[in-house]
């Protein structure tokens, strides 16, 4: 088992949640660690797994919301000024301006050395198409439907595992991606413009698809919903949950 890469869920909480960390995950392959998103709770989420920022080798960003990117400020500063390293930052080129110019630059654009760019803090890998390989793990990006007019991606990992990050239901995408396990956004409100409400999930996905589907990004009152979620889906994703990724 130790030879197989795996995906581990680091956080399962809604952006407002206090009980769970931000919905972020991690791929581990050959002893190296790639974060999928890096929200403002990332240091706590890593601590719970016995890890810290120096243990992280690379970060992939799905979209530019605080619970998915605000931890980059910590990673950037602490890697550069405390640990003397640059973590790889894997980013689709369509997100670059939104991430740096509109989000991180206000905090990280000036240091005692003068003007900075994203590359002063990270080893930036800009993706121009929809795929990348990391430590032998094949990652395919697919577009999701989250905030209108805002670009957001999910990841299809080694043709086996889907991680949607934040999205409303996207059955037309999910149906084309083979997977034994799907980690999908949920909100426990009755309806929602940018997250996947349970009634919307029930009407969008077949029972066969839902049986493979662990729901993440949930509110603190999740216990009220657990019986129904276990009946209609694989269940709620849990912090620390691990899914093995078979080598292709
Ligand atoms: Zn979001």
Ion ligand 1 neighbours (CB, 5 A) are 65, 166
Q: What is the whole-number distance in angstroms between the Cα of residue 124 and the centre of ligand 1?
A: 22
Confidence band of 42 (pLDDT split at 50, 70, 90) = very high
Please report the pLDDT score of residue 151 as a whole number.
98
Residue 70 clears pLDDT 80, i.e. is over it: yes
Residue closest to 184 by CA, chosen among 219, 221, 144, 151? 144
Interval between CA 153 and ligand 1 midpoint (Å): 10
Residues 220-236 have pLDDT tens digits of: 999 999 999 999 999 99
Distance 217 CA to ligand 1 centre (A): 10
Q: What is the pLDDT of residues 194-203, one digit of tens each?
A: 999 999 999 9
Integer Cα distance of 190 and 74 in angstroms: 35
Per-residue pLDDT at 45 exceeds 60: yes
Residue 236, C-beta contacts closer than 8 angstroms, at least 6 positions apart: 12, 214, 215, 216, 218, 222, 226, 229
Task: Quote the CA–CA distance of 85 and 78 in Å, as a whole number.
Answer: 9
pLDDT tens sequence across 84-96: 999 999 999 999 9
Is the pLDDT reported for residue 112 higher than 90? Answer: no
Distance set, CA 122 to CA 10, 88, 91 (Å):
22, 6, 11
The separation between CA 190 and the C-alpha centre of its own chain, rounded to angstroms, equals 24
Rounded to whole angstroms, the Cα distance separating 63 from 69 reads 8
Select 6-244's CATH number: 3.60.15.10, 3.20.20.80, 3.90.870.10, 3.20.20.240. Answer: 3.60.15.10
Q: Work out the pLDDT band at 2, boundaries 50, 70, 90.
A: low
8-17 tens-digit pLDDT: 999 999 999 9
Please give the distance, rounded to the nearest whole angstrom, from the Cα atom of residue 3 to the centre of ligand 1. Answer: 33
In this structure, are residues 146 and 170 in contact, taking their beta carbons and an 8 Å threshold?
A: no
Pick the more confident residue, 3 or 67.
67
Domain residue limits, the chain: 6-244
Largest CA distance in the chain: 56
Average of per-residue pLDDT values in the chain: 97
- Check: CB of residue 104 under 8 Å from CB of residue 76: yes
């Amino acid at each position: 088992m130790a030879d197989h890469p795996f995906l581990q869920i680091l956080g399962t909480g809604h952006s407002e949640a206090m009980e769970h960390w931000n919905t972020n995950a991690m791929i581990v392959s050959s002893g190296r660690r790639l974060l999928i998103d890096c929200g403002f709770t990332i240091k706590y989420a890593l601590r719970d797994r016995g890890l810290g920022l120096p243990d992280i080798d690379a970060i992939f960003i799905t979209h530019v919301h605080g619970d998915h990117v605000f931890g980059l400020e910590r990673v950037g500063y602490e890697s550069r000024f405390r640990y003397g390293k640059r973590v790889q930052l894997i980013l689709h080129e369509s997100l670059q301006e939104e991430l740096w110019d509109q989000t991180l630059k206000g905090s990280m654009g000036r240091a005692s050395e003068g003007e900075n760019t994203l590359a002063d803090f990270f080893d930036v890998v800009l993706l121009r198409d929809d795929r990348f390989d990391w430590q032998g793990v094949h990652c395919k990006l697919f577009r999701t439907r989250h905030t209108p007019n805002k670009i957001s991606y999910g990841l299809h990992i080694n043709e086996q595992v889907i991680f949607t990050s934040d999205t409303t239901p996207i059955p037309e995408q999910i149906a084309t991606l083979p997977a034994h396990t799907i980690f999908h956004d949920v909100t426990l409100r009755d309806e929602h413009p940018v997250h996947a409400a349970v009634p919307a999930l029930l009407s969008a996905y077949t029972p066969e698809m839902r049986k493979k589907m662990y729901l993440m990004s949930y509110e603190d009152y999740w216990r009220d919903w657990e019986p129904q979620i276990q009946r209609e889906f694989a269940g709620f994703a849990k912090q620390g949950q691990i899914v093995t990724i078979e080598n292709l």
